[in-house]
Structure 1
């Protein structure tokens, strides 16, 4: 129960931050991506603020020895980009640029009931489902995407 409450509060804070930063408005995101036109730099400050908070708190969190709600911190992984990762990244970027929504702001914007948000979120979940099909993963489903090229960082 404590984990669910923490997850809910984290999501709520994230959603409020997105709303306050104006990142639920696709025009702001598209303005940031329009580097050749009338570039809107504000999203850079939003991302910079998030990176600064992460950079400041990560060393403190890692000193704990273990996370609050898990037995251990996940292993940091290192892998080589493969075709699936590159294709997925390209599709994500195209969807973000065309729709003006990233998954987090899109889910936050569902509350607006705007038809374009509902279509985007439906297409996003459709993409999630398509990616889980065995033919999309290239196997019968035993491995996770990229598992053949991922090695622990502690490996020589």
Structure 2
């Protein structure tokens, strides 16, 4: 049952990314281009995503356990440190250059695999490098 829910959730997420334009690197770059022809579309997509997420947090607080697991596995809240800041900077640089971030990159593999494959390979390499060099 968990695998079916994961596949349905991932498919819904990927479809949402594709339909919203988040999987289109040119639209993302136009959103990030504050000095040229700016496209505000993704601001509405991100703002619209806050509503279901806020509802999900309200439901989670009133629920003893998730539908398909024994307990909630939520990360602890930690302060901002150098590692987080550096990660955010690297993420932003990669997002600005490539026009993709991890979720849309994986969704884009179905749309344009040859064009997106170098980004995904570099992303996976960065994740592997982090795993090897990280002690926490």
Unmatched tracts of structure 1, length 5 or more: 145-156
1:121 aligns with 2:127: no
Q: Which residue of 2 aligns with 1:94?
A: 93
> What is the Cα deviation at residue 37 of structure 1?
1.8
Distance 2:75 2:26 in 1: 35
1:11-26 pair list within 5 angstroms? 11-26=10-25
1:3 aligns with 2:6: no
When structure 1 is superposed on structure 2, of 53-62 and 12-21 the one drifting more is 53-62
Distance 1:121 1:76 in 2: 25
- Aligned alpha-carbon RMSD (Å): 1.6
Q: Cα gap change, 1:58/1:78 in structure 2, threshold over 3 Å: closer, same or farther?
A: closer
Q: Which residue of 2 aligns with 1:54?
A: 53
When structure 1 is superposed on structure 2, of 49-58 and 115-124 the one drifting more is 49-58
> What is the Cα deviation at residue 92 of structure 1?
0.8
User: Rg larger in 1 or in 2?
Assistant: 1
Unmatched tracts of structure 2, length 5 or more: none
1:67 aligns with 2:66: yes
Distance 1:18 1:75 in 2: 23
When the two structures are superposed, what TM-score results if normalisation uses the length of structure 2?
Answer: 0.91
Q: Which residue of 2 aligns with 1:131?
A: 130
Q: Which residue of 1 aligns with 2:28?
A: 29
Structure 2 counterpart SS, 1:72: coil
Structure 2 counterpart SS, 1:111: coil
Please give the per-residue CA displacement for 1:50-76, whole angstroms capped at 9, x wherever unaligned: 101111232123212111223222356
Q: Which has the higher helix share?
A: 2
